[in-house]
Homo-oligomer: A and B are copies of this chain.
Amino acid sequence: MSKYWSALVSELKPYVPGEQPKMANLVKLNTNENPFGPSPKVIAAIKSELNDGLRLYPDPEGQALKEAIADYHVDFGIAPSQVFVGNGSDEVLAHVFQGLLKHDKPILFPDITYSFYPVYCGLYQIESCVMPLNDRFEIDPADYRRPNGGIIFPNPNAPTGRYLGLGHVEDILQANPDSVVVVDEAYVDFGGETAIRLVNQYPNLLVCQTLSKARSLAGLRVGFAVGNEELIEALSRVKDSFNSYPLDRLALAGAVAAFEDKQWFEDSVNGVIREREKLTAELEKRGFEVLPSKANFVFARHPEHAGEDVAALLREQGIIVRHFNKPRISDFLRITVGTADQNKALIKGLGKLSEV
Binding site for B on A (CB under 8 A): 2-9, 12-17, 20, 28, 31, 33-38, 42-43, 46-47, 49-60, 87-88, 90-91, 94, 98-103, 119-120, 122-123, 178-180, 203-204, 212, 216-221, 230-231, 233-234, 236-238, 240-251, 254
Contacts and interface: CB of A to CB of B under 8 A. Distances in A.
A55 B34 contact: yes
A180 B3 CA distance: 9
A123 B99 CA distance: 10
Q: Which of A179, A231, A238, A245 has the most CB of B within 10 A?
A: A245
A33 B246 CA distance: 17
B244 A4 contact: no
B123 A20 contact: no
Number of copies: 2
A88 B243 contact: yes
A251 B57 CA distance: 14
Contacts of A100: 4-6, 9
Contacts of A102: 6-8
A235 B180 CA distance: 30
Contact of A241 (B12, B220, B246): B12
A55 B219 contact: yes
Contacts of A28: 56
A29 B2 CA distance: 42
Given A37-B54, A99-B8, A234-B5, A245 B17 contact: yes
B248 A9 contact: no
A47 to B, nearest CB: 6
A99 B56 contact: no
A47 B250 CA distance: 11
A264 B345 CA distance: 47
B55 A14 contact: no
A46 B219 contact: no
B119 A4 contact: no
A64 to B, nearest CB: 11
A296 to B, nearest CB: 11
Nearest to A180: B4
29 contacts: A2-B231, A3-B178, A4-B179, A4-B234, A5-B230, A6-B99, A6-B100, A9-B238, A12-B238, A12-B241, A14-B237, A14-B241, A17-B245, A33-B57, A37-B53, A42-B54, A46-B50, A46-B250, A47-B50, A87-B246, A91-B246, A120-B241, A122-B241, A123-B241, A218-B245, A219-B248, A221-B248, A248-B248, A248-B251
Nearest to A217: B54
A242 B17 contact: no
Contact of A219 (B54, B101, B221, B246): B54
A14 B238 CA distance: 7
A126 to B, nearest CB: 9
A157 B59 CA distance: 25
Contacts of A221: 58, 245-248
A38 B58 contact: no
Contacts of A34: 55
Contacts of A103: 6-7
Top 6 closest A-B pairs, CB basis? A37-B52, A14-B240, A219-B249, A6-B102, A54-B219, A55-B216
